[in-house]
A and B are shown apart, each in its own frame.
Chain A
Amino acid sequence: MSIAVRSVSKNFGRFAALHDVSLEVAEGELLALLGPSGSGKTTLLRVMAGLEFPDDARGRVFFHGRDVTDQPAYQRRAGFVFQHYALFPNMTVAQNVAFGLDARPRRHRPPKAEIRARVEHLLGVVQLEGLGARFPAQLSGGQRQRVALARALAIEPSVLLLDEPFGALDAKVRKELRQWIRRFHDRTRITSVFVTHDQEEAFEIADRVVILDKGGIQQIGTAREVRGGPSTPFVTEFLGLGENI
Chain B
Amino acid sequence: MSAIAQFSPSRARVHATADPAWVRWGVTFLGVGFAAAFLALPLGVVFQEAFRHGAGGFLAPLRDTSTRSAIGLTLLVAAIVVPVNTIGGLAAAWATCRFRFPGRRLLLALIEMPLWVSPVVGGLLFMLLFGRQGWFGAWLIAHDVSIVFAAPGVVLATLFVTFPFVARCVIPQMQAQGFAEEEAAMTLGASAWRVFWKVTLPKVKWGMTYGIILCNARSMGEFGAVSVVSGYIRGQTITMPLHVEIRYNEYQTTAAFAVASLLCLLALATLLGKTWSERRLARAFRAGAEAIPAEARS
Contacts and interface: CB of A to CB of B under 8 A. Distances in A.
Interface of A: 49-51, 72-80, 82-84, 86-90, 99-100, 103-104, 136-137, 141, 148, 151-152, 154-155, 167-168
Given A103-B194, A141-B293, A82 B189 contact: no
B187 interface: yes
B290 interface: yes
Interface size classification for chain B: 20 to 34
B187 A168 contact: no
A74 B180 contact: no
B181 A74 contact: no
B191 to A, nearest CB: 6
Contacts of B187: 49-51, 73-74, 76, 78-80, 152
22 contacts: A51-B183, A74-B187, A74-B188, A75-B189, A78-B187, A80-B184, A80-B187, A84-B296, A86-B180, A87-B181, A87-B291, A90-B203, A99-B190, A99-B198, A103-B190, A103-B191, A136-B291, A137-B287, A141-B293, A151-B184, A152-B187, A154-B188
Nearest to B194: A103
A63 B111 CA distance: 43
A103 B188 contact: yes
Interface string B108-133: 00000000000000000000000000
Interface of B: 180-181, 183-191, 194, 198-199, 202-203, 287-288, 290-293, 295-296
Given A74-B191, A84-B293, A84-B296, A89 B288 contact: yes
A74 B193 CA distance: 12
B297 to A, nearest CB: 10
Nearest to B202: A90
Contact of A100 (B188, B202, B203, B287): B188
Contacts of A72: 186
B184 A86 contact: yes
Nearest to A46: B183
Contacts of B194: 103
Contacts of B190: 74, 99-100, 103
A92 to B, nearest CB: 13
B271 to A, nearest CB: 27
A152 B188 contact: yes
B181 A88 contact: yes
B293 A82 contact: no
A169 to B, nearest CB: 8
A103 B199 CA distance: 12
Contacts of A78: 187
A110 to B, nearest CB: 13
Contacts of A154: 188
A167 B185 CA distance: 21
B296 A168 contact: yes
